[in-house]
Every structure is written in C-alpha cells, then in structure tokens.
Amino acid sequence: MKAVDFFYLLKPLIPRRMQIGIRRRRALIKRKRNPGKWPIDPIAGRVPNDWPGWPEGKGFALVLIHDVDTAKGLGNCLKLMELERDLGFVSSFNFVPKGYHLPDTTRRKITESGFEIGVHGLTHEGRAFKNYRTFSQLVPRINEFLKEWNAAGYTSPSMLGNLRWVADLNVAYGCSSFDTDPFEPRPYGVGTIFPFIVPNLAKDKSYVELPYTLPQDHSMFVLLQERDNSIWKRKVDWIAETGGMALLNTHPDYISFAGNKHALEEYPADNYFSLLEYVNGRYKDRYWHALPRDVAHFWKTTFPMDAAYSYDGTSISASNRVASLSHGNKYFRKVKLALTCSSGGHFEQMQNLYQFYQEFPRFWIVNKTPQTEYSLSSESRHFINGAHFRKPWTYVVQAPRVYGILRRERPTHIISTGPGMIGFIPFLLSRLLKIKFIHIETFSHVNHLTKMGKFIRMFRHPIFSQWDGVELKNVLSIGTAISNSLPVMQEKRSEDIVFVALGMREHAFPRIIEAVESLIKEKVIEGKVVIQMGFTKYQTELAETFDFCTPAEINRLITSSKYVITQESAGIVTKCLRLGKKFIVMPRDYEYKELPTKSDMNEDLHYKLAELGFTFVVHDKEQLKEAIGKIGQLKTDFRFDNSRAIAILKSMVESG
C-alpha cells in the first residue's frame, strides 16, 4: 500500500487538530531541508525558446483561482468574489461536484459577473488517482459536470493528480501541479513558472497545464503559521522580474472575514486582499491579469506544439521535461543517489549540483580529506582510499569496500564527477549491479576527456561534458555544473593580501613558493602573502602559511586578496571566477616530480581561460613576474549558469 493511500485510510480516525499538529511538524522539517528550493526555485525561471512575451506587452501574468473544498468554503465564495471585483480582479472558482450541493443561482451569479467556474475533482479525495483504471472509470462522470457547468478547467484535489491521465478529460486547461512545493503529499515540482501543454497522444488532443507558482494559503498560514504575506510578495517580485506566470490558488474554506478572530485552519482575509493591493499598486499596468481559460487559449495559440527549452543546443518540449512526473507510479518511484568523486575541484563541482541532488535520498563515496570531512559532516558518507592506475592492486583493494557500500545502500543512480581514483570501481560495479551511472567530466577538461572519461567511453557509455564543442561519439554537453554564486556570500573585505594556493595534491610543489619568495624580495609582490601549503613541506619567513582550512575560509581568503596565484586547480580557479578575482595559474610539472605521472594533470582549462583573457599561465619565476606586472589587464566577468545541467540531470533521474 502506498503512503498516500495509507494516509487516506487512516485519516477519518485521526482527530483534525492532531492531523494539523503532525503536519505542522513535518512542514517545518521540510522547510529546513529546502532552503534553496522553496519558495523560489531559480531553475523554474527559465524562459521558453522564441518567447514573444505576454499579451499587450505586459511583463508577467497574474492568474487567481480558488479550490472550494467544502460547503463552508462554498458559503464564502460570493463574498470573496464581490471583494475581488471591487478591487478590479477576476478569478476562477473550482467546485467539488460530489462534495456538496452547488446551487445553480450561485454558479450563474459567478459566471454572469465575469468570473469562471471549474471542476475540482469528483470528490475531495486523492484515491481517484490510485491507478489509471480507477481514474478512467470516473472520467465520463467528470466530463458530464464539465459540460453541465460549461467549465473549461480541472484541478486535482490536494494536487494528487496525474497530468497524462487528466488529458483524458474534456478540458482546455488543468491545475494539478506546481513549480516547487515540498509541502504537498507528492512534492514533485514541474520546475517552471510558465504554462505547458500536456498531450493525449492516444486521443489526439491536449490541454494546457497551469502550475500554481505562489505557495498555497493552507501551507503558508496554517501549517507554517506565517503571520503575514511577505513570502507571497517576494515570490511575486521574483516572477515579475523573471517574466513568468504568478498563479495563486487560495481556498475560501480557510479565509476568515472576522478580522483577527479565526479558527485553527483559518487566516485573515486581509492577507489575501493586501497582496492584491500590493500587486496593483507596485505593478499597475505592468501585468496581464486574465482568467485561466484565457491564459490557456493564449498559450495554445502561441505554442500550438508546446513551448520548448534549449538544453545542449537541442529543443526539449516542456511536456517532455515533466513527463516523468506524469506517469502514474512514477510519482511513487523511489530514487536514491550515490554521489562519488574525489576531494578538491571534483568535489566542489558536485557540491554545485546541490539544487539537483538535495531533494533525493543520497549518500557520498569520497576520499577522506579535511575538505570532505568538514563539508559532509551532516551528510551520509563513506570514505574510501583513492587508487591509482600505476598501482593496479589499489583498485583490487578498493573494490570489496565499494561493493559492500553499494549492496547495503542500494542506490538507483550513481552520479560521478570523477576522477578515476574514486570513480572507476563504482562504474564497473554499476554494470554488475545494474545501477544507472551518470558521469560528468570535470570542468577543467575543455577539448579532451580525462582518463576516466576515456575508459568509460570504451564501453560506449554516455559521457557528459561541461563544455560545448567536444565532437566525440557518446559525449554530450550538459553545460557547466558550477553555479554563478557561492553557497554563502562572503562579506566585503579589504583587498590587502596576495593568496597563494597549492591545493590538495599529495605531491610537493615547492617551486611555486620559491618563485613567490624571490618576487617578495624583489618587491614585485608587495603586502601580506598567505600561502595554503597543502602537503608541501617548506619553511618560509616571508609569508603566513597553513596546510588546510575549511572551504569557507578559502572563500574568505580569495575575497580578501588583491589577486591569487594557484596551481591548475579547477576548485580555486572557479572560486576566483565566481568571486570576480584576478588570478595567475602556475601548472605543476612532471619533470620536477610535482606530479606522479606525465599525464596525471593533463588539463587545459587554464589555457582556455588565458585565451579568453581571464588568467595568465606561467611556468617559472620570470613569467610570473611579467604576469604580475600585467595583472590589471585580466577580465573578471566570467558567468556560470548550471540550470541546464540541473534540469537535464533531474529529468534523467526522474525518468529512470
């Protein structure tokens, strides 16, 4: 029995006050788990290809609907309608045909006033979507009410709907989804604040799905017990800036017109009407306010074959993006991720995919360093020793450990950002244990693959590159995995140091310190110098040194620096790019025993960035001296956007 079915079986036996108490505690937990996902999911703001804008040149759309769950809510509808009309707004009222009696006079008064009527389920239970057979038996009856009421839209009770099944109904639009809402029984957002078309290929018809994009009133004021509507206002401001659709679904059942006096599941009507006044005051003449049927007509006229979004240079229809959320039991599909990578830049690139993996159960397989220990202190983690292809027995030792982890944890997908020292064995075992394996090449390889990428490609397994233009079979561009902003923005500090970073490599790199020391003596490098030594053992009195520190401290040092001198570290380099700091790269060299093998650090990111004007690549002290003299010429406006990577990864995982 599925959790939703079990809940509805026990629901009549649980006192309502107890139900609300339990749901409030669960809502607080979910809120803490979704800080970067709710109430705003940045990915949802992606604009469709060839987007012409809303009618009349308006900046965004505003749609108001009301799901009327009970007879109590029915009693508030006409008063709510009159107050909306006085403010110059219109809305749709969605009624439950078998939930209570809807007088014809009420229905006529609503439609004759320029408002709209919709159908809200058949009864207000989620069991209609238990399986397709159950739902299909209800379709003729629901269609009868749609016809009788001259209704164009359908909304699913408690959002327990299935978009593909709703397409069986004779509707122009539906509202059974949301952009992001972790508090719903099925907390799977469709990731867009724009409408999209849901086709019924078997019957050669389709409807327009209108996801609600402002948090539901019951979640806001009853479960989370918000005292005002500031979250609504903030979300409206973001949607106005993005140019999407602000669709608010409120319930007359929970609106109290008795001032500050309200029951357990009520909130003051002023919370709703002050929002309308705010929108009308701040955005007057800048938004297109329409009934849902009019929005559906506009969308289908504008995008008759559905809107499309660009990923990897390919147009993907909006309906395909959410198909995995619309296939019956896919709602209940259990996903568990294994995130595998080494410390350093590989680890930081995985961390940047937080908005993708944070909503799924997960665990990590990483090597143990101060960085991974600190960053994963609150995560489920398994530390393993890294292996190396020059020491093949290290993989033999590693394999039983990884096998035991995968057998115990039973992930559905393994996500890897490399390198082979951590990723080879999970890849091979994924084939044995039939686990989906997704490998993302490191950002530091632009025009060619890593050793792990080459190895995986031998099996004709798909590989995802973060750069466009890698023209190899089975290699697809996913876009950068790195977000433009750091997880915690650093406070502004004075730029009074030179920061030198040697990274996490176990091999010593004294040559870069010797060059820095020499230039300090020549007064080419002036001011305070701070060196992150890593595993390099070197004594100097000309600079402040330390071995390792937290990622937050690294961010602080970069923020405080005039410029940065670093090895070819994707981690430090991307931090500099994101923080807008100038930096110089001095690559390690095998000839000086700074690498274990000649091909070990065969990266070309720094050369690509030098070509674009974002860094200088130097190989000795004289070249470093020359680069410091020209440091002012470097650009600092590099932009990252990992929304494409997150959307593709999410779609792959949710679709199986």
Crossing angle for the helix pair 551-560 and 570-579, to the nearest 10 degrees: 50
Q: Where are the domains of the chain?
A: 3-325, 334-484+641-654, 497-633
Q: Determine which of 172-186, 520-534, 572-586 has the lowest per-residue pLDDT on average.
A: 172-186
- Which pLDDT belongs to residue 383? 95
CA 449 – CA 603 distance, rounded (Å): 9
CA 637 – CA 578 distance, rounded (Å): 9
CA 60 – CA 75 distance, rounded (Å): 32
Sequence-separated contacts (24+) of 614-617 with Cβ below 8 Å: 614/577, 614/638, 615/573, 615/582, 615/583, 615/584, 615/585, 616/584, 616/585, 617/584, 617/585, 617/586, 617/587
Question: Which of the four pLDDT bands, split at 50, 70 and 90, describes residue 190?
Answer: confident
- Which pLDDT belongs to residue 204? 67
Q: Cis peptide before 39, with omega less than 30 degrees from 0?
A: yes
- Which pLDDT belongs to residue 12? 66
H helices then E strands: how many in the chain?
Answer: 23, 26
- pLDDT tens digit sequence for 169-189: 999 999 988 988 888 877 777
CA 58 – CA 622 distance, rounded (Å): 58
Which CATH class, in words, describes the domain spanning 3-325?
alpha beta
pTM score > 0.75 for this model?
no
> Given this chain, do its domains 3-325 and 497-633 carry the same CATH topology?
no
Residue that the structure tokens 């993302």 belong to: 440
| 497-633, CATH topology level | Rossmann fold (3.40.50)
CA 217 – CA 273 distance, rounded (Å): 12
Burial 301-327 (b: 16+ CB within 10 A, else e): ebbeebbbbebeeeebbbbbbbbbbbb
What are the CA-CA distances from residue 442 to residues 39, 600, 601 (Å)? 31, 14, 12
Would you give the distance in Å from CA 283 to the centre of its chain?
Answer: 28
- pLDDT tens digit sequence for 409-444: 999 999 999 899 999 999 999 999 999 999 999 988
List the structure tokens of 118: 């919709």
Amino acid symbol at 463: I
CA 605 – CA 442 distance, rounded (Å): 10
Q: Determine which of 373-382, 575-584, 607-616 has the lowest per-residue pLDDT on average.
A: 373-382
130, with CB counted inside 10 A (0-12, 13-18, 19+), is: middle
Q: What is the mean pLDDT of the chain?
A: 86
The answer to whether residue 565 scores a pLDDT higher than 60 is: yes
538, 511 Cβ separation under 8 angstroms: no
- pLDDT tens digit sequence for 349-407: 998 898 788 778 899 999 998 888 888 877 889 999 999 878 889 999 999 999 999 99
Question: Which of the four pLDDT bands, split at 50, 70 and 90, describes residue 307?
Answer: low
Residue that the structure tokens 């709602």 belong to: 331
588, 619 Cβ separation under 8 angstroms: no
Helix (H) or strand (E) holding 345: helix 345-351
- Which pLDDT belongs to residue 56? 92
- Which pLDDT belongs to residue 302? 86
CA 85 – CA 257 distance, rounded (Å): 16
Residue that the structure tokens 């959002």 belong to: 159
| 334-484+641-654, CATH topology level | Rossmann fold (3.40.50)
What is the pLDDT averaged over residues 511-525? Answer: 95
First to last CA, the chain: 22
Beta-carbon neighbour count of residue 107 at 10 Å?
18
